[in-house]
Structure 1
């Protein structure tokens, strides 16, 4: 018998929990914007205590993240906008599929990330060294393979003319 996914009500608040290597990396409240049972979308302000400059983008107070998670995909796509509404780009995390229930949305970060600038001209694969050092390939080769495929899939989506538009449609 398959498990029926828990679907939080649109407009309700959930706590997003990002776990890494068995521990909670960050947790923050977000408002549910959409949930069809597979794809869930939440909106949240920048959850960092201070601005963070990555060199290719700066996340700061007032930025709004519209975060797309899937219960059946190994990634999350986060659209990032400034306080004034200008699109900064998309930050994509490679994660295990999201688990949603009891007021939480939990994902396990698998180290690999992708950044796509608002104009689509810059596509950066990030943290591949951290992924290699994590030992996931030895501990869980199936998960490591799924993570690598997810990063490749995200990059293809970002580099093709359609970008993330089709992926995020409907939400």
Structure 2
């Protein structure tokens, strides 16, 4: 009873079906990243796991929830369940050996989260990031955005119209 009073009300992905998952995420038309990390929408998915889920589903973090096609909803739902199961199992196994000394969301085994500039394990392209406030979103432009580099607020303000729009433009800018 005590914990229920602080529960923000998000759905439990393992107790939900595809339809209730889609309904929860489309209640408001928001970016996938924002919808997945809102505890009033889905319980237990934070910044790190949302990056991993979106990479597994091969979906852009800025895609609006009401723009997804049925096959994309199926991919997202499966990726959310599979990614969370893998990490729950991994963290439980770690905890059996005792409480970890350093608790962090940055894990070397993650595909994209915390791996800015490193190669994507699926395609080899460098992982990109969007920085905002104290958080960042990590993604693979080739796997998730069709090669489009998403604007990072700080850098896009600095570069203005020179902001690279594709991976190729970004690499050319780095060679200058």
Q: Common fold, TM-score beyond 0.5?
A: no
- Bigger radius of gyration: 2
Provide TM-score, normalisation by structure 2: 0.26
Q: Point out the structure with the larger strand share.
A: 1
